[in-house]
Amino acid sequence: MKLFFLFPLTLFFLCTTASIYEHPLDPLTPSEFKLVRTIVLKAYSATPPTLTFQYIGLDEPDKALVLSWQYSNPKTKATKLPPRRAFVIARYKKQSLEITVDLSKRSIVSRKVHTGHSFPMLTFDEQDFVAELPHKYKPFIESVNKRGLNISHVVCSTFTVGWYGEIKSKRTLKLQCFYTEGSSNLFVRPVEGITVVVDLDERKIVDFIDRLSVPVPKAEGTEYVTAKQKPPFGPTFKGAAFLQPNGPGFKIHGHSISWANWEFHVGYDIRAGPVISLASIYDIEQHRYRRVLYRGYISEFFVPYMDPTVDWFYKTYLDSGEFGFGQSMVSLEPFADCPANAAFLDAYFAGEDGIPVKISNAICVFEKYAGDIMWRHTESEIHDEEIREVRPDVSLVVRTVSTVGNYDYIIDWEFKPSGSIKMGVGLTGILGIKGTSYTHVDEIKEDVFGTLLADNTIGVHHDHYLTYHLDLDIDGEANSFMKTNLETVKISDKSLARKSYWTVVRETAKTEADARIKLGLKPSELAVINPNKQTKPGNKMGYRLFPGTVGHPLLVTDDYPQIRGAFTNYNVFVTPYNKSEKWAGGLYADQSRGEDTLAVWSFRNRSIENKDIVLWHTVGIHHVPCQEDYPIMPTLSGGFELRPTNFFERNPVLKAKRPKPVRLPKCNSQP
């Protein structure tokens, strides 16, 4: 792995190798991908594309083995690494194969054929191949010509088809095409009315419909590429310098990061994207690192559009399970996606042929100085004395960006010295646009399922649901889920001036049913606690969930997209830890039928009190497009926070010292 730090004047390079900082949760290396490829292809006497690799990722060791290694003697860690294995989903003879490869033994240790209805994650290679098929298909060419369009400016993109009650299904995609003449912003210029269906296994067009023709939205005013834009420009910003004379405040060893009072591991998965593991915080009073988060990542991303018409009804995506949130990660731009003080890490995944693909600058890590205040107080009540104490806030951010079709998703994991972990998501990119004949809202007499943004341009209503898998280990694995309900108490004592107050009633969830929560229905605080440990005053140690953006599904529960996305029916689930329960939408998400989701697992109603438990939290955003979102959308931010609650004896940053100011030399003003 190569990483580098960017500063305004100097570029520092630091090279490491996986063998120096081996860790049981490190992502697979390029050499390991190649070894997996060799072993699997040899076992099946096959070559791509007869056999394709839909997923290759770390088959993570059992949690007990990882924790045993983590807290073993540092001098003997290298000799106690758990066995290194890879989990593979391959497509062969129209079947999905599940294969586990032992990398140390260089052999396959398990294999089986998936017998369910759904299909594995799509690869970029197969999507790119079928997206070119319409350009050689005569009926499609004729449809483009009759619309007066130049086919050399037509670009097609792939869209998963979901499931709508079919008894049997093939591995198909639909293609929608767009027009690029006059603007790079292809997604705002759909060629509406043409449906192309392709079979991914056969890699051919199996159905074609030209149902209607509406005007292609105009190119004027849609260009976002700087070099192609025309004046006037604005607004204009002044540049800013960022200096760290003593270098960054964090250290990266392999995939392990230490900063201030935090230690954690950053991994990568082709489906999940960034994975944060083994996050611990140093307690200056206990003189030790204390466990907070064993493993955290985005498990699924559900994006249903609200247009039920024949050309749009199927657009209800599971972005992680169908397209791969990690596969969709893009290279980050220094000084733009990430500030000048950022360090960058590369990531690797296997293409459908099993050959490693590199994402340069896939992850950035930086200290965030945003001008925020960590804590402060001014005291003027003391006679002849005024006290003013302020601590500026500093945090450490791990950032990635995934571009899934038209949308760009900015994913932040922000660690604060106060003990909080903030998860941030930024939505930007291009809206889902539908072509129309309308040019003014006064012409519209029926539901168009969106907002008219410009001539012939409708931004379709839709939702974004990000479901996080958060395996919290609050000072150990044995945890419970506590609901602190705020309830009104009426005062009957007439001698008191008040008539009411609120108090708290605490409730510990005993089973999964007790922990399914729709946020916002009643005032309550939710926390994962360690029931076996308490502070000196006797409070249970824990971490509280501070929700941010909360959206509840508005589809009926028996609507097919909501059956697949039933893991969003509640904002919070809590399940007992199970290594196999990783993907909220199921291991096989493409054309899934809702048979293997978080909602299904939860209905087992297992015990979760004083157990190793996993908190699942869904960030939901209902999006009604507006003209400011067009032609490219300013970032819309959401997220949530995990915040210590009675975890420490007192404010853990009480004695934090202010960083020394860096004073820049004054420049003489020019007349």
Alpha-carbon distances of 414 from 262, 276, 332, 397, rounded to whole Å: 11, 11, 17, 4
Judged on CB neighbours under 10 Å (0-12, 13-18, 19+), 423 is buried
| Core vs surface per residue 570-584: b (16+ CB within 10 A) or e | bbbbbbbbeeebbbb
- Which H helix or E strand runs over 524? strand 524-534
Residue in this structure with the two tokens 């999006």, named with its chain if needed: 623
15: tokens are 């090279």
13: tokens are 């390079």
List Cβ neighbours of 449 (8 Å cut-off, separation of 6 or more).
306, 307, 308, 309, 312, 434, 458, 460, 461
CB of 304 within 8 A of CB of 555? yes
Residue in this structure with the two tokens 């926390």, named with its chain if needed: 527
Bridge partner list, 472: 293
Bridge partner list, 434: 458
Backbone angles phi, psi at 333, to 5 degrees: -90, 115
Distance, C-alpha 512 to centroid of its chain: 24
Task: Report the candidate in 348, 392, 195, 316 with the shortest Cα–Cα distance to residue 560.
Answer: 316
Q: What is the number of residues in the chain?
A: 671
124: tokens are 């970029």
Q: What is the DSSP code string of 85-104?
A: EEEEEEEETTEEEEEEEETT
Q: How many helices (H) and strands (E) does the chain have?
A: 6, 34
Q: How far apart are CA 533 and CA 646, in angstroms?
A: 10
Of the residues 269, 319, 337, 408, only one is catalytic, namely 319
CB of 641 within 8 A of CB of 421? yes
305 belongs to the catalytic site = no
Q: What is the DSSP code string of 103-131?
A: TTTTEEEEEEE--SS-B-PPPHHHHHHHH
User: Longest Cα pair distance anywhere in the chain, in angstroms?
Assistant: 90
Q: How far apart are CA 113 and CA 333, in angstroms?
A: 41
CB of 283 within 8 A of CB of 654? no
319 belongs to the catalytic site = yes
Report CA torsion sign: 443, 445, 448, 449: positive
Of the residues 55, 179, 348, 407, only one is catalytic, namely 407
Amino acid of residue 505: V
Backbone angles phi, psi at 187, to 5 degrees: -70, -15
Q: How many C-beta atoms surround the C-beta of residue 240 within 10 A?
A: 8
CB of 503 within 8 A of CB of 326? no
Task: Report the candidate in 189, 109, 90 with the shortest Cα–Cα distance to residue 147.
Answer: 189
390: tokens are 């302020």
105: tokens are 């033994």
3-state secondary structure 578-633: CCCCCCCCCCCCECCCCCCCHHHHHCCCCECCCEEEEEEEEEEEEECCCHHHCCCE
E strand map for 163-218: 172-179, 194-199, 204-210
* Catalytic residue positions, numbered: 319, 407
